[in-house]
Amino acid sequence: MLEYVALGLLVFVALTLFYGVIVIHDIPYEIAKHRNHPHQDALHVAGWVSLFTLHVLWPFLWIWATLYRENRGWGFVNKESDERSDKNNTENSLQLIKLQNRIDVLESALKQLTKKVNDVEEEFPEKAVTHPFNELEEAAIVKQDGVK
């Protein structure tokens, strides 16, 4: 009689351990399901694969399941900083547009001045002046090349 009780207890402990291991390996899937994780099925399958790989994958599955949150996705940024970032992006784009407009105005003014200088030089070739920018450019080239 005592032998049957011991055998029943042994079978009960073995089944409890077997069931316990399966339940423990389903924890990452349950976390993923609770968080509406986009990779729920992959986590579930990987949990079963982890049973056959001596539980090597299980800690990584736990991390993978806990990284995703439905309200913030994969990131660690809250909504306030996202709003600030959007506001900064808008301000930066406005500033970029203003700077581009200023550059366009300056370029058109430079073209007009260059055209006027060229017209004057054509009209009075004896009064043509070498531009200081040409001399600076030549000096920069000599400095870079080391040869004059």
Mean pLDDT for 104-131 is: 82
This prediction has a pTM of 0.49
pLDDT, greater one: 4 or 77:
4
Sequence ranges of the domains in the chain: 2-67, 79-145
Question: Facing residues of 73 across strands?
Answer: 69
Question: What confidence tens digit (pLDDT) does each residue in 120-134 have?
Answer: 888 887 766 666 566
Q: At what angle do helices 27-34 and 40-52 cross, to 10 degrees?
A: 170
Question: What confidence tens digit (pLDDT) does each residue in 63-103 have?
Answer: 999 999 888 888 766 656 566 677 788 888 999 999 999 99
Per-residue pLDDT at 136 exceeds 60: no
